Amino acid sequence: MKVIATASQKGGSGKTTLSVHLAVAASKRGMKTLILDTDPQGSSTAWGRAREFSYPVVAECTVPNLPELIKAARFDEYDLVIIDGAPHNTASVDKVISMADLAVIPVKPTLLDLHAVQDTIQKVKRSGKPFTFVLNECKARSVEVTEASDFLSDQGEVAPQRIGDRTAYSRALAKGMAVIEFEPSSKAAAEIEALYDWIESKLKTMRRKAA
């Protein structure tokens, strides 16, 4: 079992959007997947309640209970756990990162977001955990996106697949769906499929190295 955490102290960076979309993509590939929603706002939990499907499983979770629930997920033979990280709280971000095999850090390509992500970068580097940035809500042919990618590349690995600024994401979430269910032939769906494929490949490499 592998554990992914979407981590950022910046509210509105896209942690929940990435968490639920990656979880659906994993489930579609036959992975038994659990989302642990540590955000007090409970956005992943609300999304899960709106779904007509039984997968992925979504569970509310306080940060102190993470070790217990991850242990239970391993006992129940889950293949993948995705922690939807809470924003703002420094201790919570540290704990979430410590429980993950891979930290996924969503970042919008704006000056304010690049500034705000610095604390998260320092935390994940101190943890020694593998991490990757995912550029989120990117406008097409935007100079700012290229500049943000260049800036983040100096700090660590940037996922090659960017997530576009598309209404399909919010529309899908409002219906308790992911874009690969809501608009399976859309550009948004292709983005999520490509991002998950890349992350899955990264996790497989980590498994081989650990063997």
Q: Which helix (H) or strand (E) holds 1?
A: none
pLDDT in tens, 160-180: 999 999 999 999 999 999 999
Tell me the percentage of the chain whose pLDDT exceeds 70. Answer: 98
Q: How many angstroms separate the CA atoms of 105 and 120, rounded?
A: 8
Q: Across the chain, what does the average pLDDT equal?
A: 93
What pLDDT sits at residue 89? Answer: 63
Handedness of CA 70, 73, 75, 78 (dihedral sign): negative
Task: Sketch out the chain's domains with CATH numbers.
Answer: 2-210 (3.40.50.300)
- Give the mean model confidence (pLDDT) for residues 75-95: 87
What pLDDT sits at residue 86? Answer: 78
Q: How many angstroms separate the CA atoms of 74 and 1, rounded?
A: 6
Q: Which residues have CB under 8 Å from 48's CB, separation 6+?
A: 35, 37, 56, 57, 58, 176
Q: How many angstroms separate the CA atoms of 112 and 107, rounded?
A: 10
> Does the pLDDT at position 206 exceed 90?
no
Give one DSSP letter per residue of 148-166, joined into a string: HHHHHHTTS-B-SPPPB--
What pLDDT sits at residue 88? Answer: 66
Bridge partners (DSSP) listed for residue 80: 2, 33
What pLDDT sits at residue 12? Answer: 78
- Give the mean model confidence (pLDDT) for residues 182-186: 96
Q: How many angstroms separate the CA atoms of 55 and 177, rounded?
A: 11
- Give the mean model confidence (pLDDT) for residues 35-44: 93
pLDDT interval class at 211 (50, 70, 90): low
pTM of the model: 0.94
> Does the pLDDT at position 140 exceed 90?
no
What pLDDT sits at residue 141? Answer: 80
Place of tokens 């999304």: 47
H-state helical runs in the chain: 15-28, 43-50, 66-75, 90-99, 111-116, 118-127, 143-153, 167-174, 179-182, 187-210
What pLDDT sits at residue 210? Answer: 67
pLDDT in tens, 87-98: 766 678 888 999
What pLDDT sits at residue 90? Answer: 63
The closest of 13, 15, 18 to 113, measured between CA atoms, is 13
> Does the pLDDT at position 208 exceed 90?
no
